[in-house]
Structure 1
């Protein structure tokens, strides 16, 4: 949970680097909280007619938009790539798969263009 909170504390800076741990724990807790809120939406009737995203899960997703983009960009920086690679997610299926491949790679062990190695700190 501390990695999720660390990502939230760094919600706005798109510079720097994020370890795999920080990124994947953020994704894990984001999904857990989203599905709990989605279940609450379904149980309380605040979900839309299509039952996709309800009031609580929608507000949570909107609130987490900037932190999600920021931690994703910092994770890409750790692998030596620009945060602009996140735009690959706009390509259906293939873009997401390529991004997952980038996100699971280990970061560069030395200082790169985006800053020092976060594992060394």
Structure 2
């Protein structure tokens, strides 16, 4: 998935915790929503208040993307709460977020990744 397409899909669903999000969609959305503002804030002196405001505003879109990512692997969105456990909680959650999504529809919706079609090799 193209990074721009993935980030666009993440932003279009930024306020919805329903459905599923592919790994590319989640991680590119995360980079766009946290990485770009962080780089801008680092470049602007005395912008701590902007950092605080952006952190509060961007928490909901990142949390909903994380919940949709858990849905893609067939898990409950409550696994996002692992991030609240100091030190090792984020590593456990990152392990879940890095897994392949289920290739078939699950209780959270249809598979966002089209099924892989293997064509027979002509002999």
Please state which band the TM-score falls in when normalised by the shorter chain. 0.7 to 0.9
Post-superposition Cα deviations, 1:54-91, rounded to whole Å, max 9, x if no partner, equal: 12222222221111010000000000100011111111
TM-score, with length taken from structure 2: 0.82
- Aligned pairs for 1:1-121 (under 5 A) are 1-41=4-44, 43=45, 45-46=46-47, 54-120=48-114
Measure, in 1, the Cα distance between the counterparts of 2:105 and 2:5: 25
Larger radius of gyration between Structure 1 and Structure 2: 2
TM-score, with length taken from structure 1: 0.83
Question: Where has structure 1 moved over 6 Å in runs of 4 or more?
Answer: none
Post-superposition Cα deviations, 1:3-40, rounded to whole Å, max 9, x if no partner, equal: 22321221221110000010011122223213223214
Runs (5+) with no aligned partner, structure 1? 47-53
3-state secondary structure, aligned to 2:15: coil
RMSD: 1.6
Runs (5+) with no aligned partner, structure 2? 116-123
| Bigger mean CA deviation after superposition, 29-38 or 60-69 | 29-38
